[in-house]
Amino acid sequence: MLLDIKNLHVKYGNVEALHGIDVEVEEGEIVTLLGANGAGKTTTLNAISGLVNVTKGEIVFSGEALHKLPAHKVVTRKITQSPEGRRVFGVLTVQENLNLGAFTSKNKERVAKSLEWIYELFPRLAERRTQLAGTLSGGEQQMLAIGRALMSNPKLLLLDEPSLGLAPVLVNQIFKTVRQINQAGVTVMLVEQNARMALKLAHRGYVMEVGKIVMADSAQALLKNPDVLQAYLGGA
């Protein structure tokens, strides 16, 4: 087991957002979290990467308890998150943004290799390596955010809404690239509004409702599940 989340509770002030969830991710999988707005998907990712505090329960990654570590320590432990809303550094070039993603690595050769791989995954970024990130299109910024997350050579990539606000052709491209990233050996946890595409890409999925996991199954089974069809896939 690469990631083992047990009875995870998270509170914002006095309000509990996660009421004890269990999630397991095997090495090499793509696992998707589905659920309506406010169900707690982003909170789950943020808890894994140490951006919000765990009030109860545990998060174990590669046999190590993460829930007691601050976010900057989690990064060096091979988990990176590409946040919702992209958040690239607009006044820096594409290449400078990517280099920032490797700030934890002192191995120059490895950093150069990652950069080469990312430019292979996203040829559009290669063409625009000296362009200021703030002038990229939304889709290109999304690619850059994912590329930057990959620069630290993660074992687990957390993706929050990678298709948000993108034109359908770019959504297809991003999903294809996520599959390539996974085939290169990176385990992926994916939060997506586009449930159908997420389930087609993922091996397994979890369905969240108001801070709880209400369903867990193979992606194929979830795609055929009548409740999932009704609630998240726009009916049959």
Cα gap 118→114, rounded to integer Å: 6
- Residue 87's H or E segment, with its range, is none
Burial 33-68 (b: 16+ CB within 10 A, else e): bbbeeebbbbbbbbbbbbebebeebebbbeeeebbe
Please tell me whether residue 163 adopts helix, strand or coil conformation.
coil
Cα gap 176→120, rounded to integer Å: 13
For ligand ATP, the binding residues (CB under 6 A) are: 12, 17, 35, 37-43
The pair of structure tokens assigned to 7 is: 């009875």
- Alpha-carbon distances, residue 152 vs 77, 116, 210 (angstroms): 10, 13, 33
Q: Which one, 56 or 129, has the nearer CB to ligand ATP?
A: 56
Q: Which one, 25 or 34, has the nearer CB to ligand ATP?
A: 34
Q: Which one, 39 or 188, has the nearer CB to ligand ATP?
A: 39
**Minimum distance from residue 89 beta carbon to ligand ATP (Å):** 22
**Minimum distance from residue 182 beta carbon to ligand ATP (Å):** 22
Q: Which one, 37 or 130, has the nearer CB to ligand ATP?
A: 37
**Minimum distance from residue 66 beta carbon to ligand ATP (Å):** 18
Q: Which one, 119 or 232, has the nearer CB to ligand ATP?
A: 232
Q: Which one, 50 or 122, has the nearer CB to ligand ATP?
A: 50
**Minimum distance from residue 17 beta carbon to ligand ATP (Å):** 4
**Minimum distance from residue 118 beta carbon to ligand ATP (Å):** 26
Q: Which one, 85 or 168, has the nearer CB to ligand ATP?
A: 85
Cα gap 197→233, rounded to integer Å: 10
Task: Write the DSSP assignment of 26-40 as a string of letters.
Answer: -TT-EEEEEESTTSS
**Minimum distance from residue 160 beta carbon to ligand ATP (Å):** 8
**Minimum distance from residue 114 beta carbon to ligand ATP (Å):** 28
Please tell me whether residue 137 adopts helix, strand or coil conformation.
coil
Cα gap 149→171, rounded to integer Å: 18
